Every structure is written in C-alpha cells, then in structure tokens.
C-alpha cells in the first residue's frame, strides 16, 4: 500500500464531500485535512424539498455534523469558493485558488462539487419569482411564496417536483405540475408504482398538465406560463424542476477527462493521479472504459465519497451495493433499490397504499429492482437479494405471507 498523502483538500460540502472526510478519519488518516465550501459547514440536501421547505426543520438541524465534530476530527472547514484548480504536473501538489485570493496546496484533491439545477431554454427564466431548488437559500426563497392563496407552477414532475408539490399543498398553496410525460416517474420506479404515485397528486388537489412550457412572462405582480400546446397558466411563482447538470467547470479547466461528469474509476480516481472526484459531479467508468450512468441520489453520493476516501489512502474501496433512494410526498414514503426498467417482468405485492411493493425480475429470474410504499424493511431485504444474484420464484415475491427478509436469508 502506498503511503497516505500528507494533506488532502476536499472541494464541496455535500454528502459526498462530508462522507469522504468522515471516512478518512475513520480509517485512521492523520494528515492535514481541509474542506472548502462557500457556505462553510456541510449540510444535508434531501430535506430541502420537504421538512426544511415546510418550516419544520431549521437550518442548524440540516447540518451533517455540528461544528465541534470538525474540531474534534482536526478538519479545517474553509468558507470560500474555489475559483481555479491548478493541477500541477503529477509530481507537484495541486493548488486551489480561492475567491478570497488564498491559495491552498494539497498533496491530493477531491472534487465533490455536486450539480446545479438545469435551466430551461425559455424566455423569462430570469424573471423574479422563477426559482430552482438546490440549496438551503433556494428553499427559503421558495418558501416565501408558499402561502395560502398562492399558485405555484412546477415545470417538471420528477422526484423534486413531486416532493415540492406535496409540501406546497400542506402549506396551503395551489399547485400545477407541467410535464409532458403521462407517468413522469415511470423510468425510475416502473409504470405500476408511477401510476399509484401519480394518483396521489389528484387525490391531494394537485393539477397535472401534460405539456411543456414555451415561455414565462411577467403579468404585473404575477407570472404567466405559456404552454407549448397553447393555453396559459397564471402563477405567483414558478419552480423549474427539470433535473440537474454536473458541476464540472473546475475539472474541465484543469484538463481532467469529463463526459457528462468527471470520469472516475471505482475508487474515485480521475485522469490526474493527484485528483479524485465523487458525488453528483462524478461518473464512473465501467467495463472497457465506457462511462456508466451518473447517479444523483444521496446514498450514491455517500458511497462514492467513501470509495474516494479509500482510493486516496490506497486501500480497497467498500464493496458495491445496489442503488437505493427514497422520496416522500403527501405523507407517503417511497423507497426504490436497483433498476425497475431492465427487461423482464414486474411482480406486484399488495394493493396500492401502505405496503404496496413492485419487484422487477430480469429475464434470467434474478431480482433487478424493487419499489415499495412504507416498506423499508422489505426494501433492505430486497437489496440483499439484488446483490446476491439469486434466481427467485415470482410466486414467492407476490405472496404477502412470504417474509422478504426470510427470502433474503435463504429460508423461504
């Protein structure tokens, strides 16, 4: 094993950057460790569309760890922006040039720069009241518009759009989702589960228009949303929830290999020997050097941060795991693991509502994915089944009397 670097600088305070810092110290790393982020202490993002937006979770409780943790773990948190990454020639340490004018050299740099909200090529995107949601400041700006009598138009009915719709309704705002897809989440959760989730919108008074926006205009104190198929919506605010784009500007300017994300191996190594990447801004190279899918979920960011920590220390990264994420809207908790869209068949367990579960079996009879409503223990067991690669009897998955946990232990 190569000697650990004497100093490491982490750029980005999301879950990937924080997980890397935490794992480095957990593994016994004793070198100089710095984390640079414009807002300072790292905080959690998933609550931004839910509890934080609703006002039931304050900013202090968003923090991934209290300030004392960084002091106890000898980690310097620098509230600054990295303007430039000077990569060096591989023999010399990279240098981070900060907005304050400070230069920070480190033997190894981890880029955990995350992603930014995707902007739509629409007239009116820069009007006051046209918002996106990626940060706590974004959430607070949106929250100011979510009052009884308000009308929020959301462009995009994916996970973030759907979660914000649920929160906005609880705050008394009217909501209209605009998305061209009949079942916007079908490619993520499968059509059966997507149909159930779509029904929640109607059941809670959220409108869904199958269309796209053509322009946003100012209408006095309100906004107008021109629809591509004709028609016009009047809104007090517009949220653009059209996905995200990786923040790769630093990596590109430094000459790293970038293709829809900073390209990395399983241990977060980039094309530069002293620079690693993790989280939403990274994209793992698969067999034959072909870039794989760029994952944007919390658990994937955590795992890539931990893998990069191992890579920087020259040890084997943790074993891979099935992709997993969750979503909450209208009091319903959804969990998804693996892939729900591989060729094969879907096996349904239960009726739409609490406990409703969709299993996706591949053509080879192995479990490829699971989506469940209020079924966390079943999802955890199903993840183990996905990772085991066992061939399963569809009848066992369909039968509510069969405990998925026993299946995972090979006892059913």
Helix axes 191-203, 159-170, angle to 10 degrees: 20
pLDDT of residue 54: 97
Residue 185 burial (10 A CB sphere; 0-12, 13-18, 19+) = buried
Under 8 Å between Cβ of 125 and 117: no
Under 8 Å between Cβ of 145 and 138: no
Residue 341 burial (10 A CB sphere; 0-12, 13-18, 19+) = middle
- pLDDT tens-place string over residues 348-383: 999 999 999 999 999 999 999 999 999 888 899 999
H or E segment to which residue 51 belongs: helix 51-54
- pLDDT tens-place string over residues 142-165: 999 999 999 999 999 999 999 999
pLDDT of residue 411: 64
H or E segment to which residue 338 belongs: strand 332-338
Residue 412 above 70 pLDDT? no
pLDDT of residue 58: 95
Query: Which residues have a Cβ under 8 Å from the Cβ of 343 and sit 6 or more positions away?
Result: 362, 363
Other CB atoms within a 10 A radius of the CB of residue 93 amount to: 18
Phi-psi region of 344 (alpha: psi -120 to 50; beta: other; left: phi over 0): left
For a pLDDT cut of 70, what percent of the chain falls above it?
A: 99
- pLDDT tens-place string over residues 93-106: 999 999 999 999 99
For a pLDDT cut of 90, what percent of the chain falls above it?
A: 91
Copy the structure tokens of residue 407.
């299946």
Split at pLDDT 50, 70, 90, the class of 404 is very high
Report how far residue 197's alpha carbon sits from residue 373's, in angstroms, rounded to the nearest whole number: 10
Residue 131 above 70 pLDDT? yes
Residue 6 DSSP symbol: S
Under 8 Å between Cβ of 130 and 120: no
Number of helices (H) and strands (E) in the chain: give both, helices first. Answer: 13, 25
Report how far residue 358's alpha carbon sits from residue 241's, in angstroms, rounded to the nearest whole number: 26
Q: Give the residue-averaged pLDDT of 8-24.
A: 98
- pLDDT tens-place string over residues 294-321: 888 999 999 999 999 999 999 999 888 8
């Amino acid at each position: 094993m190569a000697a650990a670097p004497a100093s490491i600088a982490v750029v980005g305070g999301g879950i990937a950057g924080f997980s890397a810092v935490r794992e480095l110290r957990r593994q016994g790393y004793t070198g100089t460790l710095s984390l640079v982020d414009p807002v300072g202490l790292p905080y959690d993002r998933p609550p931004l569309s839910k509890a934080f937006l609703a006002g039931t979770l304050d900013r202090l409780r968003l923090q991934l760890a209290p300030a004392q943790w960084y002091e106890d773990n000898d980690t310097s948190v620098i509230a600054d922006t990295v303007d430039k990454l000077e990569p060096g020639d591989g023999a010399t340490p990279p240098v981070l040039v900060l907005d304050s004018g400070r230069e920070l050299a480190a033997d190894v740099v981890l880029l955990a720069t995350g992603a930014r909200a995707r902007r739509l090529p629409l007239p009116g995107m820069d009007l006051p009241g046209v918002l996106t949601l990626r940060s706590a400041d974004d959430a607070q700006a949106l929250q100011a518009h979510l009052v009884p009598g308000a009308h929020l138009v959301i462009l995009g009915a994916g996970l973030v759009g759907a979660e914000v719709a649920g929160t906005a309704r609880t705050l008394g705002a009217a909501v209209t989702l605009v998305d061209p897809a009949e079942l916007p989440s079908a490619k993520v959760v499968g059509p059966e589960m997507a149909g159930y989730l779509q029904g929640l919108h109607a059941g809670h008074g959220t409108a869904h228009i199958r269309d796209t926006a053509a322009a946003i205009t100012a209408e006095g104190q309100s906004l107008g949303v021109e629809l591509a198929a004709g028609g016009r919506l009047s809104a007090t605010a517009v949220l653009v929830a059209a996905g995200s784009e990786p923040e790769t500007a630093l990596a590109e300017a430094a000459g790293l290999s970038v293709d829809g994300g900073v390209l990395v191996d399983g241990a977060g190594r980039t094309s530069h020997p002293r620079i690693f990447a993790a989280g939403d801004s990274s994209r793992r190279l698969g067999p034959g050097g072909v870039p794989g899918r760029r994952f944007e979920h919390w658990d994937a960011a955590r795992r890539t941060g931990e893998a990069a920590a191992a890579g920087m220390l020259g040890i084997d990264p943790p074993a891979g795991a099935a992709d997993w994420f969750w979503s909450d809207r209208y009091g319903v908790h959804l969990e998804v693991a693996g892939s729900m869209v591989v060729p094969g068949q879907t096996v349904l367990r239960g009726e739409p509502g609490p406990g409703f579960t969709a299993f996706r079996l591949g053509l080879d009879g192995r479990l490829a994915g699971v989506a469940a409503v209020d079924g966390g223990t079943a999802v955890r067991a199903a993840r183990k089944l996905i990772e085991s690669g066992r061939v399963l009897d569809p009848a066992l998955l369909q039968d509510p009397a069969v405990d998925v946990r026993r299946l995972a232990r090979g006892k059913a």
